[in-house]
Amino acid sequence: MAVPTLQELMRIADEFNDICKIPNCTGSIDGKHCCIKCPPNAGSLFFNYKSFHSVNLLGVADANCCFTLIVVGAHECENNSSDFSKSSFGKVFSSGDLNVPPMSNIPGTSISIPR
């Protein structure tokens, strides 16, 4: 899955504002523990804090509930924040190398925030 371009992120932000009335939002993120059978020789590597073996799936969606990014395969007691920060997408985002839309005003105000 390709990382969204600047133009795609701006379109997503416009759709979030039009559909959900959430200004300057370029994605909604959530994760899910998916139950699995413990892989051979994995020990407790895939055993989560909910007391079952799982793989974490982390997804970012646009305003139409379509995935724009997925991160699959995190394990242990990872949470959404650490799954994101450890992913290649999260590292690019944190480093400032992702081509995110520029700051813009919240509609109807003079308050400028990142998209």
- Number of domains the chain is built from: 1
Q: Cβ atoms within 10 A of the Cβ of 16, count?
A: 21
What is the SS3 assignment for 15?
helix
Question: Could you read off the pLDDT of 59-95 as tens digits, one per residue?
Answer: 899 999 999 988 887 665 567 777 778 777 788 878 8
Q: Is residue 39 part of a domain?
A: yes
What is the domain extent for residue 32? 27-99
Non-local CB neighbours of 24 within 8 Å, separated by 6+ positions: 13, 16, 17, 101, 104, 106, 113, 114, 115
Any idea what DSSP says for residue 4? P
Q: Is residue 53 part of a domain?
A: yes
Q: What was the pLDDT predicted at 77?
A: 56
Do 35 and 45 form a contact (C-beta atoms < 8 A)?
Answer: no
Encoded tokens for 25: 């939002």
Question: Could you read off the pLDDT of 17-52 as tens digits, one per residue?
Answer: 999 999 889 999 888 888 888 888 887 888 887 888
